[in-house]
């Protein structure tokens, strides 16, 4: 079983009827609904409003892959929680950063850049598979259209990705590396652009397939960093050799 | 001085009045015209029709960066010439592969892939700078439009680039990694998508700036591969140490 | 089941008693012996001496991952077979290139470089895990020693790998990126340095673990390249928009 | 002129006679001494003890490349100064992180990882050029020996570098990616392993050549991030087209 924790700030849905109409129980519930149908996933959800935002040491210790959606309330996420999530990612927990999570504290802390991008509401979006044999592209159509999405455009200020799996086209003239992977410590990270709160992208079958694939790809191989921080003894004894040369 | 050799198959221009109208003396002459204005460039041109396609050992030995345009006559380039160019790139000569040079023998031999892509004539193209601080992007506008270009679309079947410097948007719905760099041996390689024979892209100031930047970026630091192919002596004497351990 | 084909040139073992003492039935048999114990592997072997070197269209069509060992007889591998293997790798077949396979025709054709390196017989080798959370490093000790190996040293003339999973230390003073991954077309490629014919490296448990992991990592997600080579129709209809601007 | 600022924590040299014997005026003075001989460099130095550690907004605005040496006092560097340096690197200022600067606040903030590594005092170190045609390797011997250095060993917990230019061998059995590049925002970053405070590595000609090359490589192409953070207008007018389809 892959232990999946879906985190959502859950603010738009409570305050904006238009968003609530799309995600009546919150974006986290929309995500959990299709993820829970997978036999190898054990899914829990939590939000900004839970104590410690639901991301206690116990929950993170029990999480293989964390899915993150946040937008207008990045600043309300406690730094102590961000540091805890960061530590777990270094130790091997996977992170799936969805849509505006590109500007979350945790994603920016992992990237070491501003993660800025161009943006605009209400464009048509077309997603392309760029690396068809990547595990995250398995079973995804070579291209699919999202009739309404928020435009995210280049330059996307992130470090060179390990792999660019998807790229997006927008009707207003922009392009975007819309599905990218990185490694930080032992943790695997994937950012995926679709998912503005007003549009039903998380109900689209290809989008769902990408997120399921990404979770399976990001599950840890090993958990726990074993790089020693203390001085280590030599493994090869070549003192005599050094003397020989002198 | 950077010694630049511009190679062009020079077939469309001789056979098609529409192309000749754009490039009366050939695409190589169009390119050489703006490159020759640079004080640090020494430019020569040659074509498919020259003996050994103009790419003799003497010419390549005297070349820092080779610019390549080819399209319908890739198959007419002699394998012996391709092998010679390949050897010089390994030794440090730079290669700027323009437009349909993505399917040239030399580019495919360097990539180790099919270099296939989607294509269609006559779209509008918009180029975006993705990596603004890369030397090849210096002085280039953050985005510029080419009213008519051949669409090149993803997936572009190439190995992961070292850097993606530009990406393109097409009016028909496609996206493309339109300016990418790779290293092969000591040689630096850059592919740039604009430049269909029917359209005046090589007269556009940003396109010209990109090609000039790319030439300066691709000039060799060292020429000549010094990796030994014979057995080498040990640099550290630790025989005694090995005995100590036994 | 992952369909594994182990290919070996099988020349040293027939001509040199010292090598036959290590690999009485050939290196391919040594490899197949431990690979066949894996329940998810279906293993076959073939050699240079088989018709078409055993790598017919039927065999390759029935292969998910090809393991390759060759050394002194690279030049005897028929170009037609190399081209066939190349085509299958582009289509998604994985390739595990062992030891001196770095100089095989197929590996060089995929890399687009000389694949030269420094070399010397009979050093002590110590392998280090560099990327512990990579699937190929799963269950491998953080470092392990091979008392006798052929030294392979940098510079290793290959394109930037996607990932450097292992690096090696040699008693004579050299270092090497000893376990690297690349993608070519839909095919995943892994080169692993240990395995000189005179030394029992393929009996070492960590070396075996690496090769088993690499096979599982390299199995195709999709087989068959679906990039169209013919002209494609536009997906978005923006003719009207173009007219509007004029 | 490239405006170079050399920053040193300057603590070991004041407290430890053995270190003062190697660097009588501090490591920053040792570095500035050979850097100042370059006609294209304008060099200034500052240390932890200066107001704002010498890294005021004015100084950073006037800096193209910042060279950083720190070790025991990383924790004493004010977070406000780290944030200011970070902002300037995002905007294009280069950073050369020397030796134990791998654990500095600024380097870890840029990497998004622990930057942990194995370490031990007093090994022999041999540096190898891995990417001979990289600008940072220009004029550097293919290998050179440092008779005494602190061992830094893999796994080095950093994100995949853009380029691995150098690798090091240590007499105790370890290996290390000792000269790596990354890009963050518009800033170019290079880490170089040699330079323990007790050993005269910064007087070695190859080490000096690497640092000079790195400074020239890291100078900004453009300064100032121009990625808009506000909503942007569409560049292509395809409203009509969207309507056509409906």
- C130 vs D130, D155, D169: nearest CB: D155
pLDDT at res. C242: 41
pLDDT tens track for C8-57: 999 999 999 999 999 999 999 999 999 999 999 999 999 999 999 999 99
DSSP H or E segment with residue D42:
strand D41-47
Distance, CA of D238 to chain centre: 46
Q: Provide the phi-psi class of C244: left if phi over 0, else alpha when psi is between -120 and 50, else beta.
A: alpha
| Complete DSSP assignment for B202-243 | GGSHHHHHHHHHHHHHHS-SS-S-----S----SS--HHHHH
Secondary-structure breakdown of chain B: helix, strand, coil percentages, each rounded to the nearest 5: 35, 30, 40
Distance between start and end Cα atoms, chain A: 59
Cα A153 from Cα A148, distance rounded (Å): 15
User: Could you tell me if B201 and B166 are in contact, meaning their C-beta atoms sit under 8 angstroms apart?
Assistant: no
* Alpha helices, DSSP H, located in C184-224: 205-218
Say yes or no: C221 contacts chain B, CB-CB below 8 A. Answer: no
| DSSP bridge partners of A7 | A46, A68
pLDDT at B246: 36
Q: Which chains touch D (3 or more CB pairs under 8 A)?
A: A, B, C
> Touching check for B79 and chain C: CB below 8 Å?
no
For residue range D165-174, list pLDDT tens digits in order: 999 999 999 9
Over residues D148-168, the pLDDT tens digits come to 999 999 999 999 999 999 999
Cβ proximity of C167 and D117 under 8 Å: no
Instruction: State residue D232's pLDDT score.
Output: 79
Nearest CA in chain B to A239: B241
Decide if D131 touches C, using CB distance below 8 A.
yes
pLDDT of residue A246: 37
Neighbours of D61 (CB within 10 A): 12
Interface-testing mutation among A113, A117, A177, A228, with chain D (most D C-beta atoms within 10 A): A113
Q: Which of D128, D69, D143 is nearest to D99 (CA)?
A: D69
Sign of the torsion angle spanned by Cα atoms D108, D109, D111, D114: positive
The number of CA neighbours under 13 Å toward the Cβ of B144 is 17
Closest CA to A116 of D227, D223, B164, D84: D227
> Is the predicted pLDDT of residue D239 greater than 70, yes or no?
no
Q: Which of B159-163, C135-139, D175-179, D222-226 has the lowest mean pLDDT?
A: D222-226
CA distance D169 to chain A (A): 12
Contact C155 D239 (CB under 8 A): no
Q: Which of A35-39, A141-145, C235-239 has the largest mean confidence?
A: A35-39
Q: In what order do the strands lie in the sheet with C118-129?
A: C41-47, C2-8, C65-69, C94-98, C187-192, C175-184, C163-170, C118-129, C143-153
What value does the mean pLDDT of chain D take? Answer: 93
Question: In the beta sheet, which residues pair with residue A69?
Answer: A8, A98
Give phi and psi for C15, each to the nearest 5. Answer: -110, -20
User: What are the helix (H) ranges across chain B?
Assistant: 12-15, 17-22, 27-35, 57-61, 79-90, 105-111, 205-218, 239-245
Report chain D's C-alpha Rg in angstroms.
Answer: 20
| Mean model confidence pLDDT for chain B | 93
Q: Which of A21, C182, D156 is nearest to B111 (CA)?
A: C182
Task: In whole angstroms, give the CA distance from residue B155 to residue C11.
Answer: 41
**Phi–psi pair at D195, nearest 5 degrees:** 130, 30
φ and ψ at residue D82, rounded to 5 degrees: -60, -45
Which among A189, B183, A21 is positioned nearest to D165, based on CA atoms? B183
Among residues C207, C190, C17, the alpha carbon closest in space to that of C96 is found at C190
In this predicted model, what pLDDT tens digit does every residue of D46-61 receive, in sequence order? 999 999 999 999 999 9
Q: Are D185 and A114 in contact (CB under 8 A)?
A: yes
Q: Between C151, C182, C242, which is nearest B159 by CB? A: C182
The answer to whether residue D229 scores a pLDDT higher than 70 is: no
pLDDT band, residue A35 (cuts 50/70/90):
very high
Strands (E), chain A: 2-8, 41-47, 65-69, 94-98, 118-129, 143-153, 163-170, 175-184, 187-192
Would you place residue B227 in the very low, low, confident or very high pLDDT band (cuts 50, 70, 90)?
low
Q: Which two three-digit tokens encode residue A118?
A: 């161009």
- Give the model confidence (pLDDT) of D84-129 as tens digits: 999 999 999 999 999 999 999 999 999 999 999 999 988 899 999 9
Percent of chain A residues past pLDDT 70, beyond the cut: 93
Burial class (CB in 10 A: 0-12, 13-18, 19+), B243: exposed
Distance from CA of D114 to the nearest CA of A (A): 7
* Predicted pLDDT of residue C238: 55
Question: How confident is the model at residue D12, as a pLDDT?
Answer: 96
Chain D nearest-CA residue for C174:
D169
A162: closest chain C residue by CA: C162
How far is CA D97 from its chain centroid? 2
Span C52-79, average pLDDT: 97
Q: Flag whether pLDDT at A243 surpasses 90.
A: no
Sign of the Cα torsion C189, A176, D89, A98 reads negative
Which segments within D100-173 are labelled E, that is strand? 118-129, 143-153, 163-170
How would you list the strands of the sheet with B65-69, edge to edge? B41-47, B2-8, B65-69, B94-98, B187-192, B175-184, B163-170, B118-129, B143-153
Q: Which residues lie across from A189 on neighbouring strands?
A: A95, A182
pTM: 0.95
pLDDT at C236: 76
Residue C241: pLDDT above 80? no
Span B85-111, mean pLDDT?
Answer: 97
**Is D218 within 8 Å of D96 (Cβ atoms)?**
yes
Q: What is the pLDDT of residue D234?
A: 79
Cβ pair A133:C187 closer than 8 A: yes
The DSSP-derived string for D7-20 is EE---HHHH-HHHH
User: How far apart (Å, rounded) are the C-alpha atoms in residues C188 and C88?
Assistant: 11
Max distance between CA atoms of chain C, in angstroms, equals 80
Whole-angstrom distance, CA of residue B202 vs CA of residue C121: 54
Here the tokens at position C125 are 């080798």
> Of C113, C183, C231, which has the smallest distance from its Cβ to B185's Cβ?
C113
B221 touches chain C (CB under 8 A): no
Query: With 80 as the cut, is the pLDDT of residue B122 above it?
Result: yes
Asked if the C-beta of B168 comes within 8 angstroms of chain A's C-beta atoms, the answer is: yes
Beta strands B175-184 and B163-170, pairing class: antiparallel
For residue B244, is pLDDT > 80? no
Of the candidates B55, B99, B53, the one whose C-alpha atom is nearest the C-alpha of residue B77 is B53
Using DSSP's 3-state secondary structure scheme, residue A57 falls into helix
Q: Is B113 on the interface with D (CB under 8 A)?
A: no
pLDDT of residue A122: 84
Rounded Cα–Cα distance for residues B106 and B112 (Å): 10
Confidence band, pLDDT 50/70/90 cuts, at residue B73? very high
pLDDT of residue C243: 40
Tokens describing residue C76: 């005897």
pLDDT tens across D126-140, in order?
A: 999 999 999 999 999
Chain D residues lying within 8 Å of B220, measured CB to CB:
133
Q: Is C99 left (phi over 0), alpha (psi -120 to 50) or beta?
A: left
Angle between helices B27-35 and B205-218 (to 10 degrees): 80
Whether the pLDDT of residue D236 is over 90: the answer is: no
Buried b / exposed e across A28-62, counting CB within 10 Å, b at 16+? bbbbbebbeeeeebebbbbbbeeeebbbeeebbee
Confidence check: pLDDT of D193 > 80 = yes
CA D53, CA D57: separation in Å to the nearest integer? 11
Q: How does pLDDT run across B143-200, given as a tens digit for each residue?
A: 999 999 999 999 999 999 999 999 999 999 999 999 999 999 999 999 999 999 999 9
Phi, psi of B236 (to 5 degrees): -120, 135
Q: Does the pLDDT value for residue B49 go beyond 80?
A: yes
Residue A226: pLDDT above 60? no
pLDDT tens digits, one per residue of B5-28 = 999 999 999 999 999 999 999 999
């Amino acid at each position: 079983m892959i232990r999946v924790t879906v985190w959502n700030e859950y603010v738009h849905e409570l305050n904006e009827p238009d968003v609530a109409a799309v995600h009546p129980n919150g974006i986290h519930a929309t995500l959990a609904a299709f993820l829970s149908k997978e036999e190898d996933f054990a899914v829990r959800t939590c939000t900004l409003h839970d104590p410690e935002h639901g991301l206690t040491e116990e929950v993170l210790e029990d999480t293989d892959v964390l899915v993150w959606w946040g937008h207008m309330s990045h600043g309300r996420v406690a730094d102590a929680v961000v540091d805890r999530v960061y530590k777990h990612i270094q130790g091997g927990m996977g992170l799936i950063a969805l849509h505006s999570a590109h500007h979350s504290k945790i994603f920016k802390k992992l990237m070491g850049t501003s993660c800025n991008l161009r943006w605009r509401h209400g464009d048509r979006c077309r997603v392309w598979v760029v690396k068809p044999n990547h595990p995250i592209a398995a079973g995804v159509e070579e291209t699919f259209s999202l009739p309404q999405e928020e435009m995210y455009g280049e330059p996307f200020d992130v470090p060179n990705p390990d792999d660019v799996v998807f790229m997006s086209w927008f009707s207003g003239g922009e392009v975007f590396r819309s599905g990218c992977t990185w490694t930080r410590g032992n943790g695997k990270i994937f950012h995926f652009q679709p998912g503005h709160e007003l549009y039903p992208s998380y109900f689209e079958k290809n989008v769902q397939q990408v997120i399921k694939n990404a979770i399976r790809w990001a599950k840890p191989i090993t958990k726990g960093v074993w790089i020693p921080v203390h001085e280590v003894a030599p493994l090869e004894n070549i003192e005599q050799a050094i003397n020989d040369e002198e």
